[in-house]
């Protein structure tokens, strides 16, 4: 006699399943992603699937054959790792049934996965992942509750006894990874910004305050070659800056003074600092500008109401990342307040890249 019980299928978006996944999934995913980057798996897959011999993807066995270490369980273990990346949409997965009846998974890079090809690629996020998985940062994150217990110090300072930027600069390898990672992210963001923002047109002299090794200015001047650029940053950063046509690298401290120019770019700067320090920088920018000059501020804009969109997850995650050294992401109203207190005459959000990354103008 058959059972009278009906099979009950669980809901795909069951709240308990979601909670269980969040309890351990992010840690596993981060570990797998970091390992995939260290092993160059994204690049191996990219090279293997560009040929006509693998139009539907490559198997774990094929990928394993390209790794420097071989053992009998390598392909099986690799398949398990690749499945995690597939479930997070960094790879696409199809299946092939072999003559013996066994099902084989075939993997290809997704549109998002292509951003993790080769840590040296100009549009790669691989080095940022490597930077974020540095043991000193991991140790700081394991003590995250300290941000609530001690509000006088940044999290990195609390755990390691020094500001995070000093910690990065004290480790030459980590410092190089950080600078290259920031340069790569900058290329991605600035390329997108220049597609939607035309506010650099007509500027003669543009100052990039905290411009790193000059990557933002180089992209801007490539589109607007009539601009003369000044890349302004700390001496230890400028020392690593390569020469670019039309760009002068200048050492200095933005809390002391800022070079004079027609316009000033502050990209990813204000979110690193408290309101008090932001006002110091903005006041120096105000002094360095002519009448009707402007500061172009590029930073994430925190929404007033928080949802569960990718943009909201990005901004709130970056906002909590800023606890490392006492900074924060800000709402549009908070940026407007900084603009008004520093005596600029007008403020506007001109455009947004990736929904969340605001391009704002402060006019003198």
- The DSSP 8-state label assigned to residue 61 in this structure reads H
141: number of Cβ within 10 Å: 15
DSSP state, residue 301: B
Residue 285 contacts by C-beta under 8 Å, 6 or more apart in sequence? 209, 258, 264, 266, 295, 342, 362
- Bridge partner residues of 41 (DSSP): none
Rounded Cα distance, 327 and 348, in Å: 22
Q: Respond yes or no: is residue 271 known to be catalytic.
A: yes
Determine which one of 71, 88, 176, 271 is catalytic: 271
Which burial class, exposed, middle or buried, applies to 304 when counting CB atoms under 10 A from its CB (0-12, 13-18, 19+)?
A: exposed
Q: CA–CA distance from 324 to each of 38, 138, 141, 173, 338 (Å)?
A: 25, 11, 9, 20, 22
How many CB atoms lie under 10 A from the CB of residue 350?
15
- Which residues are the active-site residues? 271
């Amino acid at each position: 006699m058959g059972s009278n019980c009906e099979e009950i299928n669980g809901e795909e978006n069951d709240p308990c399943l979601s909670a269980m996944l969040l309890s351990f999934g992010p840690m596993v995913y981060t570990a797998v992603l970091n390992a995939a980057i260290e092993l160059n798996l994204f690049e191996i897959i990219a090279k293997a699937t560009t040929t006509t011999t693998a139009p539907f993807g490559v198997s774990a066995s094929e990928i394993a054959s390209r790794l420097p270490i071989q053992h009998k369980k390598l392909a099986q273990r690799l398949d398990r790792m690749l499945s995690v990346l597939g479930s997070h949409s960094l790879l696409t997965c199809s299946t092939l049934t072999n003559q013996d009846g066994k099902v084989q998974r075939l993997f290809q890079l997704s549109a998002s996965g292509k951003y993790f090809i080769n840590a040296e690629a100009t549009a790669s996020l691989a080095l940022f992942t490597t930077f974020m998985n540095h043991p000193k940062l991991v140790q700081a994150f394991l003590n995250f509750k300290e941000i609530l217990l001690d509000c006088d110090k940044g999290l990195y300072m609390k755990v390691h006894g020094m500001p995070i930027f000093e910690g990065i600069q004290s480790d030459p390898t980590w410092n190089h990874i950080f600078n290259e990672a920031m340069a790569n992210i900058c290329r991605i963001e600035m390329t997108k910004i220049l597609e939607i923002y035309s506010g650099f047109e007509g500027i003669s002299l543009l100052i990039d305050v905290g411009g790193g090794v000059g990557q933002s200015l180089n992209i801007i001047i490539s589109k607007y070659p009539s601009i003369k650029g000044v890349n302004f940053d700390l001496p230890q950063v400028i020392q690593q800056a390569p020469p670019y046509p039309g760009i002068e690298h200048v050492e200095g401290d933005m809390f002391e003074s800022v070079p004079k120019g027609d316009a000033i770019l502050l990209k990813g700067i204000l979110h690193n600092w408290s309101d008090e320090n932001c006002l110091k920088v903005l006041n120096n920018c105000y002094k360095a500008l002519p009448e009707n000059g402007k500061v172009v501020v590029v930073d994430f804009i925190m929404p007033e109401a928080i949802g569960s969109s990718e943009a909201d997850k990005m901004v709130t995650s970056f906002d909590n990342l800023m606890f490392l050294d006492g900074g924060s992401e800000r709402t549009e109203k908070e940026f407007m307040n900084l603009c008004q207190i520093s005596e600029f005459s007008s403020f506007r959000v001109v455009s947004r890249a990736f929904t969340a990354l605001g391009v704002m103008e402060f006019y003198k």
